[in-house]
């Protein structure tokens, strides 16, 4: 079996350059990397990753636990994180909790046993505090993303309260006051309802709590949404996720309601299909979220800071399109 020294001799580089080439080190040029890879292919060389990790006490693997495999938002985040980790010479080990606390615990345990250097995850519960403390004792870097389940580990989150405020304010400015908020919330989820209430209060509009709906974690919510539309007859909806937004659109189609003619819609997550359908969205800086999660976990691995925990909060912004009817103009 060929060795890294033989590859180095054939490529005319140092042994350390061979190592850097195989971990996609940013400090090695493309020309040198391609020469090394060509030499490795000719000799049939593959790096011994296990031996490397035993020597350095680092696996250069980061675990990622995503809570919802069906949500395009998380697919985008995963792609960003994987790309950035690869650039930094790390590999990604991916798992899905499917919004199930027991599955999440199993995933975290499996990643820890796989000797990952760190774990980025979206918590589904705050009940695994003792297990999280054990992971920290094992020097596994931890970053919770999008939700805050544990006060003693690093967090990278969105200001979803501000997002709901922006969405509700936009609708109020277009003459709507019967606004239905549809959001999936749990004790550890960001509170969009507070942003909704703040915008209503600023406009001197009373808040009917029947219009603030906390939906369960499930893939098909159309029947629940339909019942609320029939019962409350809102003129507008704020959908707390893109999956809820899609269910609102499907429900309107089934009920033969037009958007925005019969019902206005503002949706969280500016996924690709939102612009195609001209849906007004609360855009969350997904690229910054993924990059910040990577930067935070790299800093924690490198022990760049010694504080107990760091929290990064990213601000959303509104993208106005054609899914909100101006009721003032139609009077």
The Cα–Cα gap between 330 and 269 comes to: 29
The Cα–Cα gap between 152 and 112 comes to: 18
Flag the least confident range among 233-247, 255-269, 298-312: 298-312
CATH 3.40.50.2300 domain range(s) in the chain: 57-158+286-315, 160-283
The per-residue pLDDT for range 279-323, each reduced to its tens digit, is 999 998 989 999 999 999 999 988 755 667 889 999 999 999 999
**pTM, whole model, 2 decimals?**
0.78
Q: Is residue 25 left, alpha or beta, with left meaning phi > 0 and alpha meaning psi from -120 to 50?
A: beta
Q: Closest by alpha carbon to 164, among 205, 199, 192?
A: 192
Q: How many CA atoms lie within 13 A of 115 on its CB side?
A: 10
pLDDT, residue 49, reads 53
The per-residue pLDDT for range 44-95, each reduced to its tens digit, is 777 665 455 444 457 789 999 998 877 888 888 999 999 999 988 899 999 9
Read off the pLDDT band of 265 (50, 70, 90): very high
Fold entry, domain 57-158+286-315: Rossmann fold (3.40.50)
C-alpha distance from residue 182 to each of 65, 192, 247, 270 (Å): 25, 9, 11, 17
CATH 1.10.260.40 domain range(s) in the chain: 4-47
The per-residue pLDDT for range 119-137, each reduced to its tens digit, is 999 999 889 998 998 888 8
CATH superfamily of 160-283: Response regulator (3.40.50.2300)
In CATH, what number does 4-47 get?
A: 1.10.260.40
Chain-wide mean pLDDT for the chain?
88
């Amino acid at each position: 079996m060929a060795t890294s020294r033989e590859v180095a001799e054939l490529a005319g580089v140092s042994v350390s350059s061979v190592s850097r080439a195989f971990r996609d080190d940013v400090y090695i040029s493309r020309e040198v990397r391609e020469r090394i890879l060509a030499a490795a292919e000719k000799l049939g060389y593959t790096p011994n990753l296990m031996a490397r990790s035993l020597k350095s006490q680092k696996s250069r693997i980061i675990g990622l636990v995503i809570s919802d495999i069906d949500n395009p938002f998380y697919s985008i985040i995963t792609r960003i994180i994987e790309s950035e980790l690869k650039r930094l010479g790390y590999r990604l080990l991916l798992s899905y909790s499917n919004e199930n606390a027991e599955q999440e615990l199993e995933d975290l345990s499996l990643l820890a046993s796989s000797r990952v250097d760190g774990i980025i995850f979206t918590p589904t519960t705050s009940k695994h505090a003792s297990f999280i403390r054990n992971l920290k004792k094992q020097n596994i870097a931890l970053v919770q993303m999008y939700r805050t389940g544990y006060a003693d580990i690093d967090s990278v989150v969105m200001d979803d309260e501000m997002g709901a405020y922006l969405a509700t304010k936009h609708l109020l400015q277009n003459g709507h006051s019967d606004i239905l908020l549809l959001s999936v919330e749990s004790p550890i989820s960001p509170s969009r309802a507070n942003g909704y209430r703040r915008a209503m209060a600023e406009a001197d509009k009373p808040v009917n709590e029947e219009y603030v709906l906390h939906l369960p974690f499930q893939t098909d919510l159309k029947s629940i949404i339909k019942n609320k539309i029939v019962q409350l007859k809102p003129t507008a909806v704020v959908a707390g996720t893109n999956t809820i937004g899609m269910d609102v659109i499907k429900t309107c189609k089934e009920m033969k309601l037009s958007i925005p003619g019969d019902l206005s819609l503002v949706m969280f997550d500016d996924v690709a299909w939102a612009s195609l359908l001209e849906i007004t969205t609360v855009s969350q800086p997904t690229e910054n979220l993924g990059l910040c999660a990577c930067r935070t976990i790299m800093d924690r691995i490198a022990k760049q800071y010694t504080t107990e925990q760091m929290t990064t909060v990213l601000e959303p912004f509104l993208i106005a399109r054609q899914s909100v009817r101006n009721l003032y103009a139609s009077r």
